[in-house]
Structure 1
Amino acid sequence: MTDNAFNKFIEIQHVEMAFHTKKGTFHALRDINLTVKKGEVITLIGHSGCGKSTLLNLIAGLLTATDGTLLCAKREIAGPSPERGVVFQNHSLLPWLTCYQNVHLAVERVFGATESKARLTERTRAALGLVGLMHAEHKRPHEISGGMKQRVGIARALSMEPKVLLMDEPFGALDALTRAHLQDELLKIISKTGSTVVMVTHDVDEAVLLSDRIVMMTNGPAATIGEILQVRLERPRERVALAQDALYGEYRTSVLEFLYHRQAHPALQEAA
């Protein structure tokens, strides 16, 4: 693979997204241009309604752009694919299946036609092991915590060996301590797998902790990319050490400055 190809693993070119509603056309995104390198971790951040999840769903192939081009590994994104694994804020586990069965279902769907049952079992257990849940493989979703459910969702996505891991605020509904723990676990997983990650977040600290670049969105409607911040913090990253890192503080301030000064939320503007 050439350096140029490496630097353009995901390509988003002049993408527009409009939704037709009973009240007329809602222009969600305009002129989105972004490239993502192989193995890079990108977070999308911005105020509610800025189109972060819409952009993620376009990359996932769950939505079709009104205009523009989206490519992954030089192929057009024309619909959902196992090469792009998705983790939603809602874990979306099947409640009547165990943790093992929820992951195995995805493994069987992707690899069942070409691999033995023993190999499918190996893949399933390897994914559960990656998120530290082998001890809970026979439990059903109602028997485990919210954080564990999200880890099963991550395991399910990773079990398909996706080229890209797409995450839509996967820790947003969790308490602060559980969220911090799962962020640390995700850092370890990224280190082990070298995954390319695109993640939606509202959490500034999460964005700085996890990202190689932070993509900051302008307010909607017709939202676009306002700024992109390169995060030059060495990996592996450790949250306690970073809390004392002056560069970490600078990145955090830069994102807050964009969100709350240059992109003041409409509600704040009205109150002013």
Structure 2
Amino acid sequence: MIELFLIGIGTGNPRHLTLEAIDALRAADLVLIPRKGPGKDDLAGLRRRICREVITGDHPQLQEFDLPKRDAAHPDYRAGVDDWHDAIARIWATEIRAGLPQGTGKVGFLVWGDPSLYDSTLRIAERVAADLPLRLHVIPGITSIQALTAGHAIPLNRIGAPVTVTTGRRLRDHGWPGAADSVVVMLDAGCAFDALAPEGIDIWWSAYAGMAEEIRLAGPLAELAPRIAEVRAEARARHGWIMDIYLMRRRETAAG
């Protein structure tokens, strides 16, 4: 039996790791580190840095591999994602077999934020389990939502009010979600808030939340939208990649 540990690592800051996460990393025989291609080497580098800082000695083995790219031109978005996840799962299985030739041991995979929230690692692991005898363990981590609200020193919700967590794609296609009071937007390929009428909405935006490179902007959406777009483009050009997240709320006077 192979034990696979999906380890939430927060936002790349080694201080975000829980003691449980550190124990799991130190107990692993193999740690898989994905490479996302040119311009995104920082992501693999941060995983390596975390391993260097918390793992003692020369154990476990670190094994890097290249991730396939999703076909962004696929006519069916969901089918394209499923095909992509199938391809990733095949690579995982190949790497695990190569790293654990005896067919037994503990494998660690470091997951940004928490494996439960807008992350496909669990779905990929389920595919791998159909091909290999796996026992799955999930170690929770600090989410980017927590890093966002902590960085801005704000609560996630107003008293007794609901929060909706959605994606940039859905915000752009469907607008403000129903009767939501507060909206958190993740996986935004580029300023989906531009699809909203900005009057009466406040935004708290963070890029690289919780990391040393963190950038934060907050204020009325009508005033900040162009500034966020400018800062976002500059940061992406500088680092070669960007992870951003934001929370929006309608002002109580405007909602009433």
- TM-score (norm. length: structure 1): 0.29
- TM-score (norm. length: structure 2): 0.31
